[in-house]
Chains A and B, each alone.
Chain A
Amino acid sequence: MAQLTRDDIIRLASLARLDLSDEEITHFSVELSKILDYVEQLQGVDVTGLEPTSQVTGLLNVQRDDEIKSYGYDPIVLLENVPEVEDNQIKVRRVL
Chain B
Amino acid sequence: MSQWLPIEEIAEKVRSGELKAVDLVNMALKTIEDKNEYNAIISTTKDRALQRAQQIDSGEKKGRLVGVPFIAKDNFLAFGAETTAGSNMLKGFVAPYQATAIEKLEAEGAICVAKANLDAFAHGSSTENSDFGVTHNPYDKTRVAGGSSGGSAAAVVLDMAPFALGSDTGGSIRLPASFCGCVGYKPTYGLVSRSGVVAMASSLDVIGPLARTVEDTALILDVLAGRDELDSTTIDRDPESYTILAPAKNLKIGVIKEYMGEGLDDGVKNQIEVSIAKLRNSGAEIIEISLPSLPLSLAVYYIICPAEVSSNLSRYDGVRYGHTDKSAKTVEENYIKSRGQGFGAENKRRIIIGTHVLSSGYYDAYYKTAQTVRTKLINEFNEAFKTVDFLIGPVTPNTAFEIGSHHNEPMLDYLTDIMTVAANLVGIPAISLPIGSVNGLPVGLQLMGKQHSDRQLLALAKQTEELSK
A residues near B (Cβ < 8 Å) are: 4, 8-9, 12-13, 15-21, 24, 27-28, 31-32, 34-36, 38-43, 45, 47, 50-57, 59, 62, 64, 71, 73, 77-78, 80-84, 90, 92-96
Contact = CB atoms under 8 A, between A and B. Distances in A.
Contacts of B348: 18, 20, 24, 28
Contact of A83 (B319, B336, B355): B319
13 contacts: A16-B351, A32-B356, A38-B414, A41-B296, A43-B365, A45-B369, A50-B376, A53-B371, A56-B427, A57-B189, A80-B94, A93-B328, A94-B331
B378 A53 contact: yes
Contacts of B94: 80-81
B334 A39 contact: no
Contact of B232 (A41, A50, A62): A62
A56 B203 contact: yes
B203 A54 contact: yes
Contacts of B190: 56-57, 59
B237 to A, nearest CB: 13
Contacts of A17: 314, 317, 332, 335-336, 339
Contact of A38 (B320, B332, B411): B411
A93 B410 CA distance: 36
Given A19-B336, A45-B293, A90-B320, A50 B375 contact: yes
B96 interface: yes
Interface in B274-300: 293, 296, 298-300
Contacts of B368: 52
A75 B95 CA distance: 13
Contacts of B408: 27, 31
Interface in B369-426: 369-376, 378-379, 408, 410-411, 414, 426
Contacts of B378: 53, 56
A62 B229 CA distance: 10
A56 B426 contact: yes
A81 B351 contact: no
A65 to B, nearest CB: 10
A19 B319 contact: no
B79 to A, nearest CB: 9
Contacts of A57: 189-190, 233, 235, 427
B355 A24 contact: no
B345 interface: yes
A18 B410 contact: no
B189 A56 contact: yes
Nearest to A94: B330
B330 A93 contact: yes
Contacts of A15: 355, 359
A32 B368 CA distance: 19
Nearest to B331: A93
Q: Residue among A16, A62, A94 with the most chain B CB within 10 A? A: A16
B321 A81 contact: yes
Contact of A35 (B317, B372, B375, B410): B410
Contacts of A28: 348-349, 352
B233 A83 contact: no
Interface string B425-461: 0110000000000000000000000010000000000
B359 A51 contact: no
Contacts of A36: 353, 356
A60 B42 CA distance: 39
B326 to A, nearest CB: 8
A31 B409 CA distance: 8
Contacts of B340: 18-21
A94 to B, nearest CB: 5
B368 to A, nearest CB: 5
Contact of A93 (B189, B333, B339, B359): B333
Nearest to B230: A71
